[in-house]
Chain A
Amino acid sequence: DTEVTQTPKHLVMGMTNKKSLKCEQHMGHRAMYWYKQKAKKPPELMFVYSYEKLSINESVPSRFSPECPNSSLLNLHLHALQPEDSALYLCASSQPGQGAEAFFGQGTRLTVV
């Protein structure tokens, strides 16, 4: 199984809502990532978990809260988002360290209204 599964595929939420994005992989990867991608732009790194511990937080606003409950699951909790947070949110996983390719999920298309 070489898949990274993200749910939901699409999400529309109001600025006062709380929602969560979910990501799952069963490849035994111990590094997992959240990226944000705006239209016509490359993905921007948000968070990295390595061995279930947060290793990189790219100065992301606190309205985004990541969680890694175990080595297969990664969540992104959303609260009080702004319209400019509308984007494609991509999850990825890899083995930790240089040279290991990252496997990406299909993404969650988030629209904040």
Chain B
Amino acid sequence: AQSVTQLDSHVSVSEGTPVLLRCNYSSSYSPSLFWYVQHPNKGLQLLLKYTSAATLVKGINGFEAEFKKSETSFHLTKPSAHMSDAAEYFCVVSSLGGNNRLAFGKGNQVVVIP
């Protein structure tokens, strides 16, 4: 079984300040982990992914995430928020034996304050 927990359903940040979105996962096997972003009425866009290579993963738009097996975490960070970062963010896990099934977290709604 696999699952994802995203705390803080709503996150407000001031423009130019750091962004931190927390993700904890549960998986019976070594997981692959993803962060997706969704702007209003749009599809999901992949920000970055972890698939057992480097534990610090860099993605698009200045985002990065660190895989910590001991903490079963995959938190997403960005040093300086931009207005265009206002969106919904989903942490997603895929595991061997998952039969192509992705497990989504409940999402973080990010608001950027000018």
Interface residues of A (CB under 8 A from B): 4, 6, 31, 33, 40-43, 45, 48, 50, 55-56, 88, 90, 92, 94, 96-107, 109
The answer on a CB contact under 8 Å between B51 and A99 is yes
B100 and A31 form a contact (CB under 8 A): yes
**B41 cross-chain contacts in A, Cβ below 8 A:** 88, 107, 109
A101, B41: Cα distance in complex, Å: 21
Q: Which of B32, B44, B51, B52 has the most CB of A within 10 A?
A: B44
Of A43, A48, A88, the contact of B99 (CB 8 Å cutoff): A48
Q: CB distance B34 to A101 under 8 Å?
A: yes
Interface footprint category on B = 20 to 34
Q: Which residue of B lies closest to A58 (CB)?
A: B101
Contact of A107 among B34, B43, B52, B95 (CB under 8 A): B43
B102 CB within 8 Å of chain A: yes
Closest to B41 in A: A109
Checking A4, A48, A104 against B101 with a beta-carbon cut-off of 8 angstroms, the contacting residue is A48
Specify the chain B residue showing the minimal Cβ separation from A6.
B43
Q: Which of A31, A43, A96, A98 has the most CB of B within 10 A?
A: A98
Main secondary structure of the interface of B (DSSP, over half): loop
In the complex formed, the residue of A with least CB distance to B36 is: A104
Please, how many angstroms separate the alpha-carbon atoms of A100 and B90 in the complex?
16
> What are 17 A-B pairs at a CB distance below 8 A?
A6-B43, A45-B101, A45-B102, A48-B99, A48-B100, A50-B100, A55-B99, A56-B100, A90-B43, A98-B32, A99-B49, A99-B51, A102-B34, A104-B45, A106-B42, A107-B42, A107-B43
Q: A90-B43, A109-B41 are in contact. Are A42 and B106 (CB under 8 A)?
A: yes
Give the residues in chain A near B99, CB-CB below 8 Å.
Answer: 48, 55-56
The 6 closest A-B pairs by CB, nearest first: A42-B104, A104-B43, A99-B32, A99-B51, A104-B44, A106-B43
